[in-house]
Chains A and B, each alone.
Chain A
């Protein structure tokens, strides 16, 4: 079992529970900014490279001000990379139109779009991770609910998250005991898998029934109520307006090209 994933979740959870000015911002404005960011990134033409660069300011500033270690985010992005790499790699093979010569090298449109894909991937995926790391799942779900997501779904996210470690821990103990009795074999046959997973499921169902009893014992009537303890203020608004302005600016005006042009004396 990939227990490492739980450590990953735990790590992100730690980050999400930090208390920095960024963490204290209303979850809704952070969500809105990230959505705008992703749309901006994806709205660039497919061969765009330099125009995407200024957008890195967003993840870097967020990581910087939210005490989020760069390494933790980049490691996750790298781990998630293979799929984009796999599909993106067809581009250099299929699109061989030369578009750019850099000294002796000719670069095809395929390579350009491939690199563009990787850049976009890094930007959008890191933005999603940072959103979580600087908000925390709990504040995120509360924000989602206040944004009009069905409460049932917001609750579902929280419940799922709450019991991840409980069920994961049970699974780990069961697997360990199977391993101890299976002479070191790391593989589970379908028969043993069936028993193990089946019983994990039965235990989960029992647990759900106990939780339900605990809920009705405290007056649960089908609706989960939460006391919202934060209110959006001018800081939140400023955050959203500032970043939106930045996204619009770099979408229509490429500071990277201007800077490069100025440095190389070209126009």
Chain B
């Protein structure tokens, strides 16, 4: 369920980076406040454990296909929401850096989607209600599956929202929802099973490990949650308004005034010069909310009118592009050859 860089607009990616960065700072502060020094090595080692466990596949009962643990819920059950969120964030960061899972711009989204929902929603609102240190097997398994499904459904929905808001994929909101949610229902069940499987061993062999968690109830207040959502919505709204609406507007008006996408160079005068400048400063391109576009036919027409470029320019653009690429590769290659000779 990793989001990829290429599908995210800088506005959405940046907003989610800000939200996630804030959450990390907040969690770090919360953990500092309780002075649980032993959490530090525990978080590190359990991060390595989840990282490893994500690579161990098991056969899903009654299907024959295989699945693996995601770990968000399990970490929360072991470490509490704040530490678990930090651990998930660290795992995703390492994966983004080492395996290019997702990429840097999407990292904020990925941490939020896979870390926030299990730690701050699924765990306190579902898992905790079902499961405690002395729960029956039935409660443990049903609580884990329900919580994992809820966490992943929310995460998947966030993926859809972030992708749609970015507007790089042409996939419509509803199609994407219909694609993502059922897939993640299955993934959620697997996650729940794996979580319960591991927790049941710990419950049996080392109940005190989980009992620590019982003492430290998640203290995330409803007020904090509401604030967080409000800030996220506000940030997202403002940033995407800036990124899309405003600058789009600029582009549209620019087109109206010049009537042409590529400003004819010979046309002189301060006006066209300014317009050209304006066009170039339209730094964030036309990322708009796709659902909105679909509703408005007018905009749709505009949309189709926008990329019309004449074949000649494009061909030369393509040719030039390929040559540029070759030059870039050549420079890199020669640098490397030189280094090797050193």
From B170, B194, B283, B309, contact of A113 by CB (8 A): B170
From B57, B97, B167, B333, contact of A129 by CB (8 A): B97
- 9 A-B pairs with CB atoms under 8 Å apart are A45-B286, A102-B318, A128-B97, A150-B28, A150-B29, A202-B202, A260-B319, A261-B313, A264-B319
Q: How far is the CB of A11 from chain B (nearest CB, A)?
A: 9
Interchain CB contact under 8 A, B56 and A188: yes
Contact with A along B304-335 (1 / 0, CB 8 A): 10011101111111111111110111011111
Question: A-B contact count, CB below 8 Å?
Answer: 403
From A70, A156, A204, contact of B332 by CB (8 A): A70
Interchain CB contact under 8 A, B59 and A97: no
Q: B24 to chain A: which residues have CB within 8 Å?
A: 149-150, 153
Q: How far is the CB of B157 from chain A (nearest CB, A)?
A: 15
- B residues neighboring A (CB under 8 Å): 2, 4-10, 13-14, 24-25, 28-29, 31-32, 35, 37-38, 40-49, 51-53, 55-61, 66, 69, 86-87, 89-91, 93-94, 96-101, 103-105, 163, 167-172, 175, 193-194, 197-198, 200-202, 205-206, 209, 265, 280, 283-287, 304, 307-309, 311-325, 327-329, 331-336, 339-340
Q: B14 to chain A: which residues have CB within 8 Å?
A: 39
Residues 229-263 of A at the B interface (beta carbon under 8 Å)? 251-252, 254-261, 263
Chain B minimum-CB-distance residue to A221: B37
- Interface magnitude class on chain A: 35 or more
Alpha-carbon separation in the docked complex, A128 to B68 (Å)? 26
Q: How far is the CB of A23 from chain B (nearest CB, A)?
A: 11
From B7, B13, B312, contact of A87 by CB (8 A): B7
Interchain CB contact under 8 A, A124 and B105: yes
From B13, B43, B49, B339, contact of A42 by CB (8 A): B13
Interchain CB contact under 8 A, A156 and B320: no
Alpha-carbon separation in the docked complex, A48 to B104 (Å)? 21
Alpha-carbon separation in the docked complex, A190 to B324 (Å)? 53
From B2, B40, B332, B335, contact of A83 by CB (8 A): B2
Alpha-carbon separation in the docked complex, A111 to B227 (Å)? 41
Contact with B along A148-189 (1 / 0, CB 8 A): 011111011111111110111001000100000000000111
Q: A168 to chain B: which residues have CB within 8 Å?
A: 48, 51-52
Alpha-carbon separation in the docked complex, A131 to B107 (Å)? 15
Given contacts A152-B28, A264-B312, 18 further A-B contacts (CB under 8 A): A20-B339, A50-B324, A57-B327, A57-B328, A87-B163, A88-B7, A94-B170, A125-B5, A128-B104, A131-B97, A132-B98, A158-B44, A163-B45, A187-B59, A197-B201, A202-B201, A222-B35, A256-B324
Interchain CB contact under 8 A, B91 and A194: no
From B90, B168, B323, contact of A157 by CB (8 A): B90
Q: A146 to chain B: which residues have CB within 8 Å?
A: none
Alpha-carbon separation in the docked complex, A196 to B215 (Å)? 28
From B202, B304, B312, B328, contact of A53 by CB (8 A): B328
